[in-house]
Structure 1
Amino acid sequence: MRSVVFLTAGLLAVTTLSGCGSGEPVSEPLAGPDIAPATRDRIEDGGTLRWAVDSVPQTLNTFQSDADATTARIAQASLPVMFRLDTRGRPQRAAEFLASAEVVRTEPKQVVVYKLHRAAVWSDGRAIDAADFAVQWHALSGRNSAFWTAHNAGYDRIEKVRRGKGDREVEVTFARRYADWRSLFSPLYPKDVMGTAAAFNEGARNALKVTAGPFTVTSVDRGRGNVTLERNKRWWGDPAKLERIELRAVPREKRTAELVAGRLDIAEVDAGQAGRIASAAPGPQGRPAPGGGRAAPLMGPGAARAAAPPLLAGASGAGSADAAAATLSWAALHGSDRRAAEAERAALRKRAEAERRFTAEQKGLSGFEVRKSLEPAYTQLALNGAEGPLADERVRRAVARALDREELAKAVLGPLGLPTDPVGSHVALAGQPHYADGSAALGGHDAGKALALLHEAGWKQGGPLKTPAAGAAGADARRKSATSPSPSAPSAPSSAPASAAVSASPSPSSSAAEEDGDATYVVGQDDKPPARDAGEQRGGGVPGAYAPRGTAAPAGAEAAQLAKDGRPLTLRFVLPSGQGSESLRTVGERIQRMLRRVGIRTEISRVPDDGYFDDHIANGQYDLALYSWPVSAYPATDARPIFAKPVPAADGSLVVEQNYTRVGTDEVDQLFERAVTELDEEEGHELMRRADERIWTAAGSVPLYQRPQLVAVRRTVANAGAFGFRTPLYEDMGFLAK
């Protein structure tokens, strides 16, 4: 569940990154948690926190393939964890469950001893003990296929689990060394859930009868879209401040209305919704006035036109336009044309209703604020290296070097007031111990170097073209399928990384368009790129329009289309078409323009969100795509399947695991394997940094920016919001005392 793909794309202390490719780790995250922290004595006892989620989960067992982000949230609030993540994404011992945990031997085999908190009990009163650890290991070891597990990483390296010197001590012996041992047994399920295949497969799908956290799960109502968590009376740690947490499934586009109606206290929102909430904040509102000071408060739609006509002498600019509109409205109402007057009255009634709704929304949203951070996830450009032009590493490297990653990061994060540093690693983010900017292994933005790589690969400017078939080389439908797990996308962006399911057909509303000389292909079901005249296809243009030889091209000018063996260099760029994916489409269009500057044309295919991953990314039906990966504290385990070299299956297909770019090398695989067995943490970090440099060199994916995290929270709610790397502490959440 730590590897979840996000589809979509919060103000805090900012630390400057080291220079690009410096190899020096960054000491702090770019943005920390924004949760309105408050000490427990300032929070009232009781209350219900109503929290929007994307869906009611199909299972409460996080180790099953259809578990989602809400499954993980429920587990965090109600089940034991051995280690939590701090604000830098580092694992820290959970003192409520563990008195200690350490490696006590490495030879001849690695042995870890867990000493459990003496008061730790399940909600039925039974002590948490070695039996729970042993049963979970058996279920997740991969040795019994009757258990329908989504993954067994780490558990497959354990040789035995047994009781230690006392009832509260657990001894785990590994058959093979495992550096990420802290990732195991989090969450820990009771032996009743893990004891048999039937219990594992079905017992925790609809209910968790026994828990051990600050909250218990009291109901799962898929019909009403609710999950209810209530305070655990047997919890031995700091008692939960809240009496109840209600997780409510609310579609993202309906969350603003639910906030206004007072039916939610906390909800993740997109940038547009965040702007509406910010505009409703108490205090002076509106744009800066032209002559200094502030303009009048925002009055909502049509406010200017409904005003009485002002004197227009000397009016200019926007004020003149508003005044003119108001004058025309007044003239229509008081003129002799009855039809015009009635039409204007109807328009005024419509505007008045819009104003009423706007005012009501502003009033309803004024009790909320947007808490902002950066998610522990990054958005990347994926390059499918299975076949076509991108099977050539030189072409992939050229695409990567044509990108101005700083510009893309600023386009997404700058308007939100968040740090805009591009991501420099595939396996970690700024602030994490594994992080170092490895992008210098590939090289920075350089259109000239990109063109040189393309020429080296045989793609020439102005080369002869055969009569192009619709879609060109990069847009040919791929027929090779891959054996791989289907990614899930929580929200989102993931919605992730971190939402795959049904239809694959492109959006019928898409169309081909060309504006201002910069062709932007948007391909729908039957669209073809706009035809070009023969002179342009030969690399020429209008006769007599050439500049003298040696004239420098203007900055940002397009390069002539590249061709090879009579075929143009055209790549199919697949993007989601859903309402929450606007930022991805904006980034996609910017990337399209950047690639045109080096002679690469792209056809953008907008496809429904619900089929984006299953039908396009997982099946390899794309050349370029944008999606996000989370990062974890355990990259040797969790990032390995994302970058593992695909291997042929018996039926001739490729087993790609989660490597949807189909780009991998033996060297990267070997570095991951060495890192996962390296018990010296610094050496393990170094191995991960070396692996990341090799991944940059292969250019199967290009990290762009860390995903924004925007959460609307009622102003009276403390210790909740945008958590960044940090694991939430549910027992500390609550409403500020009056």
Structure 2
Amino acid sequence: MDASTTARRLGRATALAVAVALAVTACTSGGGGSAGDVAKSEPPRQDSQDINAKPLDQVKDGGEVRLPLYQWITQWNPFQVDGRYGDAVEIMRALEPDLFTTDASGNFQPVADYLQEAKITSTSPQVITYKLNPKAKWSDGKPLGYLDFKADWEASNGKKDGYNIADSSGYELISSVEQGADPTEVKVTFSEPYADWQNLFRPLIPAAGIGTAQDFNQAWVDKIPITAGALKIGTADKTAQTLTLVPDPAWWGTKAKLDRITFRVMSQSATTQAFLNNEIDLATAGTAAAYGQLKGAKDAVIRAASPWDDVHISFGQGGALADQKVRQALGKALDRSSLIKIANNGVPVEFKALGNHIFMPNQAGYQDNSGEWAKFDLAAARKLLDDAGWKDAGSGQPRTKDGQQLELHWVINDSTPQAQLDLATAAAAMWLAAGVKVDLDKVPANDFFTKYVNPGKFEIASWRNTDSFPLSTSLTNFRLPVGDNVFGNYSKLGTPEIDALLKKAAGTLDPAEAAKLYNQADAKIWELGHTVELYQRPVVVATRKGLANEGAFGLGSTDYAKIGWEK
């Protein structure tokens, strides 16, 4: 099941933020087709990548690679609440200092172009000392330094008015940022231990670009004022919906291989024909329709890997859904196995039910905490609705309470392919069997996140979260909102207990002990009726034959500077 918008790299917002991740995405998939009986393989291993990895001496200098972009990017500041769209975060990590990348197993690796060293130099209190590459400079000529780290911390720690931040996790635990022994050394001191410190300052944003709340929120809208990467923006044509990245001649490291990377905005369903027409060099093949057309296409190579990528159904917190029993009833009324079969139809990699909001099944620490909350039990769902005061109105009719019908709205991206519509239609029929009427409301693709998901203006919505790791990024996905800031918790549902468990886990340096706390929090998230997880989604893509260092990255980071064509 594919998605048309993605939160990756920074988590749920993430995706990611990140982004993030998270990067967020309307969970979407092409449907039906004659490929329903395609042989299924096991999901790829956690540490697998399928990117046609080639050393740089086997990659041509020059040329162009054309990639799809699923939404025009407006906010480029990845620390700002609207800047967590997944593709935006991934591109920003090619244009700004990405101090650490992740390898195929999801482990952090320092980037020598920016860091000579970064390590814990004290544990009580926790102090991280960064030794910067003295060659590293911003595009305005200033060297990277402690003032950039300090500005990013002060902007993101939640203590400054007017800064509409995406996530304060980790930053709120920093007590000081200072220059070390010389201008290339930065000392970051924490008030409490923080296990995932390597995920902070990713990417590093220049102090000159976020010195005021106005700059933080607006200076990165439709522009990137300062960069420090192997690539820079070549052109950004909003009318034509095309964006190009080109090598930055001021770059001090290994020159990017390509002359140009061109992104074109299109829906994921449109990538199939665009690939067949030789208009792009990578297309999603994670749907029956797409896979069926792309698997035998000339010059196409199918690639697959298992990233942090979940498909889920989220509930809002208004109206009838303010009652936890109603949300729990919606979870119990769903036959997840049937819904997953709809999404998996015709796709060559098996989709398995997901029982955790924080861990993927191929991550150490995973356990299924869904318990009774994701177990299909129509009688129990009806009992919960009875207890919530919603009276049964007979077969096929919505329940009533105080003269109102139990009718909810599922917001759907209007570029959603057929399989996701089939899944949503099937879910709505399951809910109606319990006495809940659910209408499917299509909205414009460019509005789906900005007008509905991000501000939490939905009753039911479905999208993907990608790369919600390290584990501490889960805090932003499920923490209680503060004022108007929902962080990455678009449902706006949470409890102080969940917040406390996630914060304690993030400060626990022993991975086994941290996993216990994360799983305790996850069990509470299931009970809350926040989100019904469906499955971990393997990435399945078609790439042009000869395309090197691009494809399905699994838990690893994309390095746009290494992408190119085989010699």
Relative to the length of structure 1, the TM-score reads 0.64
Which sections of structure 1, spanning at least 5 residues, go unmatched? Answer: 17-27, 282-365, 466-536, 540-559
1:383 counterpart residue number? 315
1:73 counterpart residue number? 90
Kindly provide the CA deviation profile for residues 425-451 of structure 1, in whole angstroms up to 9, marking residues without a partner as x. 112322334532211263633445445
Cα offset, 1:133, TM superposition: 2.1
1:587 counterpart residue number? 423
Cα offset, 1:172, TM superposition: 0.7
Matched AA of 1:404:
D
1:736 counterpart residue number? 566
* Cα distance between partner residues in 2 of 1:12 and 1:121: 49
Cα offset, 1:735, TM superposition: 0.5
3-state SS of 2:90 partner: helix
2:209 counterpart residue number? 193
1:418 counterpart residue number? 349
Inter-CA distance 437–260: structure 2 relative to 1 (3 Å threshold): same
1:343 counterpart residue number? none
2:535 counterpart residue number? 705
* Cα distance between partner residues in 2 of 1:382 and 1:713: 32
Cα offset, 1:171, TM superposition: 0.5
1:297 counterpart residue number? none
Answer whether contact 1:90 1:432 (CA < 8 A) is retained: no
The match for 1:401 among 332, 343, 365 is 332
Cα offset, 1:671, TM superposition: 0.9
* Cα distance between partner residues in 2 of 1:411 and 1:77: 36
3-state SS of 1:415 partner: coil
3-state SS of 2:131 partner: strand
Answer whether contact 1:52 1:267 (CA < 8 A) is retained: yes
Matched AA of 2:28:
A
1:231 counterpart residue number? 247
Answer whether contact 1:441 1:694 (CA < 8 A) is retained: no
The match for 1:716 among 546, 559, 566 is 546
2:477 counterpart residue number? 642
3-state SS of 1:607 partner: strand
2:4 counterpart residue number? none
1:162 is the counterpart of 2:93: no
3-state SS of 2:523 partner: helix
* Cα distance between partner residues in 2 of 1:619 and 1:87: 33
Equivalent residue runs for 1:110-125 within 5 Å: 110-117=126-133, 119-122=135-138
Answer whether contact 1:157 1:176 (CA < 8 A) is retained: yes
Matched AA of 1:633:
F
* Cα distance between partner residues in 2 of 1:179 and 1:455: 45
* Cα distance between partner residues in 2 of 1:205 and 1:623: 29
Cα offset, 1:209, TM superposition: 6.1
* Cα distance between partner residues in 2 of 1:70 and 1:458: 44
Equivalent residue runs for 1:76-95 within 5 Å: 76-95=93-112
Equivalent residue runs for 1:236-255 within 5 Å: 236-252=252-268, 254-255=270-271
Cα offset, 1:625, TM superposition: 3.6
* Cα distance between partner residues in 1 of 2:139 and 2:364: 36
Inter-CA distance 588–49: structure 2 relative to 1 (3 Å threshold): same
Answer whether contact 2:306 2:538 (CA < 8 A) is retained: yes
* Cα distance between partner residues in 1 of 2:359 and 2:94: 26
Point out which structure has higher relative CO (alpha carbons under 8 A, 6+ apart).
2
* Cα distance between partner residues in 1 of 2:343 and 2:367: 22
* Cα distance between partner residues in 1 of 2:354 and 2:162: 41
Cα offset, 1:690, TM superposition: 0.6
3-state SS of 1:579 partner: coil
The match for 2:441 among 599, 602, 606 is 606
Equivalent residue runs for 1:35-434 within 5 Å: 35-67=51-83, 68-107=85-124, 109-117=125-133, 119-122=135-138, 127-145=143-161, 149-195=165-211, 200=216, 204-205=220-221, 207-208=223-224, 210-252=226-268, 254-268=270-284, 271=287, 274-275=290-291, 277-278=293-294, 280-281=296-297, 366-374=298-306, 376-388=308-320, 390-434=321-365
Which sections of structure 2, spanning at least 5 residues, go unmatched? Answer: 1-16, 30-38
* Cα distance between partner residues in 2 of 1:644 and 1:149: 14
Alignment size in residue pairs: 537
* Cα distance between partner residues in 2 of 1:32 and 1:452: 45
1:499 counterpart residue number? none
* Cα distance between partner residues in 2 of 1:376 and 1:57: 23
Relative to the length of structure 2, the TM-score reads 0.81
* Cα distance between partner residues in 1 of 2:436 and 2:155: 50
Answer whether contact 1:561 1:569 (CA < 8 A) is retained: no
3-state SS of 1:639 partner: helix
* Cα distance between partner residues in 1 of 2:415 and 2:428: 21
Answer whether contact 2:257 2:561 (CA < 8 A) is retained: yes
Percent identity between the aligned chains? 28
3-state SS of 2:144 partner: coil
Answer whether contact 1:52 1:249 (CA < 8 A) is retained: yes
3-state SS of 1:41 partner: helix
3-state SS of 2:416 partner: helix
Cα offset, 1:422, TM superposition: 0.9
Cα offset, 1:141, TM superposition: 4.1
Kindly provide the CA deviation profile for residues 669-698 of structure 1, in whole angstroms up to 9, marking residues without a partner as x. 221232233333332222111100111122
Answer whether contact 1:386 1:662 (CA < 8 A) is retained: no
Deviates more, 1:2-11 or 1:393-402: 2-11
3-state SS of 1:721 partner: coil
Inter-CA distance 174–268: structure 2 relative to 1 (3 Å threshold): same
1:478 counterpart residue number? none
* Cα distance between partner residues in 2 of 1:670 and 1:231: 45
Answer whether contact 1:378 1:705 (CA < 8 A) is retained: yes
Answer whether contact 1:65 1:150 (CA < 8 A) is retained: yes
3-state SS of 1:186 partner: coil
Matched AA of 1:397:
Q
Cα offset, 1:665, TM superposition: 2.6
Answer whether contact 1:12 1:373 (CA < 8 A) is retained: no
Deviates more, 1:444-453 or 1:154-163: 444-453
* Cα distance between partner residues in 1 of 2:461 and 2:163: 34
Inter-CA distance 48–423: structure 2 relative to 1 (3 Å threshold): same
* Cα distance between partner residues in 2 of 1:220 and 1:614: 20
3-state SS of 2:177 partner: strand
Inter-CA distance 38–459: structure 2 relative to 1 (3 Å threshold): same
1:725 counterpart residue number? 555
Inter-CA distance 656–12: structure 2 relative to 1 (3 Å threshold): same
* Cα distance between partner residues in 2 of 1:65 and 1:225: 23
Answer whether contact 1:377 1:706 (CA < 8 A) is retained: yes
Inter-CA distance 160–576: structure 2 relative to 1 (3 Å threshold): same
1:8 is the counterpart of 2:8: no
Inter-CA distance 733–573: structure 2 relative to 1 (3 Å threshold): same
Inter-CA distance 86–446: structure 2 relative to 1 (3 Å threshold): farther
Inter-CA distance 575–132: structure 2 relative to 1 (3 Å threshold): closer
1:435 counterpart residue number? 366
Cα offset, 1:146, TM superposition: 6.0
1:683 counterpart residue number? 513
Computing the radius of gyration from Cα coordinates, the structure with the larger value is 1
Answer whether contact 1:36 1:718 (CA < 8 A) is retained: yes
Inter-CA distance 218–571: structure 2 relative to 1 (3 Å threshold): same
* Cα distance between partner residues in 2 of 1:730 and 1:228: 12
1:361 counterpart residue number? none
Taking only aligned residues, the RMSD between alpha carbons, in angstroms, comes to: 3.7
* Cα distance between partner residues in 2 of 1:209 and 1:661: 33
Cα offset, 1:720, TM superposition: 0.7
Inter-CA distance 655–248: structure 2 relative to 1 (3 Å threshold): closer
3-state SS of 1:111 partner: strand
Cα offset, 1:628, TM superposition: 3.2
* Cα distance between partner residues in 2 of 1:208 and 1:399: 43
Cα offset, 1:77, TM superposition: 1.6
3-state SS of 2:351 partner: coil
Inter-CA distance 700–256: structure 2 relative to 1 (3 Å threshold): closer
Cα offset, 1:45, TM superposition: 2.0
1:632 counterpart residue number? 468
Cα offset, 1:44, TM superposition: 1.7
Deviates more, 1:195-204 or 1:234-243: 195-204
